[in-house]
Amino acid sequence: MAGQQRVYRQRIRSTQSLKKIFRAMELIAASRIGKARERVSAAGPYARAITRAVSAVATHSGVDHALTTERPDAKRAAVLVLGADRGMAGAYTASVLREAERLTERLAEEGREAVLYVVGRRAVSYFTFRGRELAGSWTGESDAPSADLAADVSQNLLDAFLRPEDEGGVGELHIVYTQFVNMVTQTPQVLRMLPLEVVEGEVADTHEALPLYEYEPSPDQVLDALLPRYVQSRILSCLLQAAASELAARQRAMHTATDNAEDLIRSYTRLANQARQAEITQEISEIVSGADALAAS
Amino acid sequence: MANLEVELVARDRTVWSGDATQVSAPAAEGEVGILVGHQPLLAVLKPGTVRIFGLDRSVLEAKVDAGFISVDDDQVTVVVDSAEVLGGSRR
């Protein structure tokens, strides 16, 4: 009987230490998310400036560039999957991976083979465990991606895109990432990055006509310099959004875990008290019946 | 006299922004200097030094990687991969 009480006490203790871990993870995620959101907005000016410049070139000289040319006959398409380095973020990585698998299937139906580029240790291990070949993988900074990481990723992808088909080039680039809507909502998204579709809509809402620029050295060369940077800035913004989403998902998951731990502790305490009470009652009835037996004899 | 509104942005942050009288930048075909009323320009930059001449006669120098500069209606945006402010000096 005393054994049962001890088991409950043990469970309470272990749940308590788990709860402390969950609480700590929650606080860490909460403190980092502010910084992650700041970085999303800090990258804004660069992205805006580049988008504006690209639209300006596109409206004036018409875009005719290797990065904007459709390649419908391509047999391969690159898929960049942005997952998390660590778990403890609820369904964050799982939902990104589900979206990636759906995209892979869709590409397969269209007769295209998906070439995987993966960011984040959890996502990498998901694919390597299933024996899928990865064309590129990056781990270690999924919750605080640097501009250098974005540069490296986009360099690899642009190289793959610009390579001829028979040397392993890809005809498309899709990005699967988690869009940060707000602290409560993060939605997995599929974005077709390449070939580029230059949308002027992002600038048009400022209601001003784009000026007639003078280009130096020439519109083509300006475009040559702009477009890779444009891709890079889009990839960085995806990485930063994914990082903010990861932290938000982790914070929420850890908050729920803490709550659940509290519930568990409460119900275990109740059971432990019950067991203790039962033990006391039993002891009393044993003593009473022993005394009765003595008195009767 | 009107001033230039200058913004110097790197990939991950705004390095400097504010008003200035003159900006000089290392364009691909040689240094360009921009004063108020410059015609709209979109130029590729090579690595070098960007100088921003402030209103109070101060000069801000920044070492930049490749990038581009856009000038439009006295709004100058210098967009670079990375920038390192070398500090201001007086002229």
Question: What is the structure's pLDDT at A18?
Answer: 96
Q: So what's the architecture of A31-251 in CATH?
A: 3-Layer(aba) Sandwich (3.40)
Question: What is the structure's pLDDT at A31?
Answer: 93
| DSSP conformation letters of B20-64 | EEEEEEEETTEEEEEETTPPPEEEEE-SEEEEEEETTSEEEEEEE
Question: What is the structure's pLDDT at A67?
Answer: 81
The domain limits of chain A are: 2-18+253-290, 31-251
Residue segments in chain A with a per-residue pLDDT below the cut of 70 = 1-2, 60-63, 198-211
How many whole angstroms separate alpha carbon A180 and alpha carbon A248? Answer: 9
Contacts of B27 in chain A (CB under 8 A): 216
Percentage of chain B beyond pLDDT 90 is 27
The reported pTM is: 0.85
Domains of chain B with bracketed CATH: 4-86 (2.60.15.10)
Question: What is the structure's pLDDT at B81?
Answer: 85
Which residue in A155, A154, A148 sits closest to A175, CA to CA?
A: A154
Summarised one tens digit per residue, pLDDT across range A150-180 is 999 999 999 988 888 777 788 889 999 999 9
Complex prediction ipTM: 0.82
Residue B13 is nearest to which of A42, A57, A151, comparing CB atoms?
A: A42
Q: Which helix (H) or strand (E) holds B86?
A: strand B83-90
Residue A147 is nearest to which of B11, B44, B66, comparing CB atoms?
A: B11
Question: What is the structure's pLDDT at B88?
Answer: 66
Residue A49 is nearest to which of B9, B13, B39, comparing CB atoms?
A: B9
Paired with B5 in beta bridges are B19, B75
Helix axes A2-42, A219-296, angle to 10 degrees: 160
Which residue in A130, A63, A119 sits closest to A245, CA to CA?
A: A119
CA-nearest residue to B73 within chain A is A211
Question: What is the structure's pLDDT at A57?
Answer: 78
Helix axes A2-42, A44-61, angle to 10 degrees: 40
How many whole angstroms separate alpha carbon A190 and alpha carbon A141? Answer: 21
